[in-house]
Amino acid sequence: MLNTSTPKLRVNDFIQDSIVDGYGLRFVVFTQGCPLRCVGCHNPGTHDLEGGHLIELSEIRKEWKKNPLLTGITISGGEPFIQKDAVYELIKLAKADGLDVNIYSGFTYDALKKKEDTTIDLILESADILIDGPFVIGLKNLNLLWRGSENQRVIDLKETKRLGRVVEIKD
């Protein structure tokens, strides 16, 4: 059963129909707030923890439901994991609607797992793909799949869980 009193998420912006943030046609949520503040970040307007605006998750869901052609949502940032409770609820809503979920994080998969946080673990079990690692300007490469620097990885979370080791999706 889904929680009908979902929390609010602090967001910077949305893209209604992206083809560059994962497989298929995607709805992209840019969360607001990032403590990492990577030099050369593609979304520096998302850094301010008090910026953006709060929105009910049900309102975000209404937006993606307007497009029956969507195959999934992508949760980007900012840093989505600093709003882990709302992000987990958003993922549950997307999954209930039959959408796959990609999520970005400036933290690595290993660093997220080391937090030993139940909600973070639930996010990693529920999402389909994690793009992990900070953006490193010295490793910038515009030819990579869904990421901006060579240290970042595209991780198949379902296969990672099944095999018990990180499984990357290669370019």
Helix spans in the chain (H): 57-65, 84-96, 109-114, 118-126, 157-163
**Full set of structural domains in the chain with CATH:** 8-163 (3.20.20.70)
Alpha-carbon distances, residue 134 vs 4, 71, 90, 101, 113 (angstroms): 34, 26, 23, 20, 16
| 3-state secondary structure (DSSP) of residue 59 | helix
Distance from chain centroid for Cα 3: 20
Query: pLDDT of the chain along its 171 residues, tens only?
Result: 344 455 899 999 999 999 999 999 999 999 999 999 999 998 999 999 999 999 999 999 999 999 999 999 999 999 999 999 999 999 999 999 999 999 999 999 999 999 999 999 999 999 999 999 999 999 999 999 999 999 999 999 999 999 999 999 998
Task: Return the amino acid letter for 130.
Answer: L
Helix (H) / strand (E) containing 15: strand 8-18
- What does the alpha-carbon distance between residue 171 and residue 72 come to, in Å, rounded to a whole number? 20
- What does the alpha-carbon distance between residue 52 and residue 61 come to, in Å, rounded to a whole number? 18
| Contact yes or no for 135/104 (Cβ under 8 A) | no
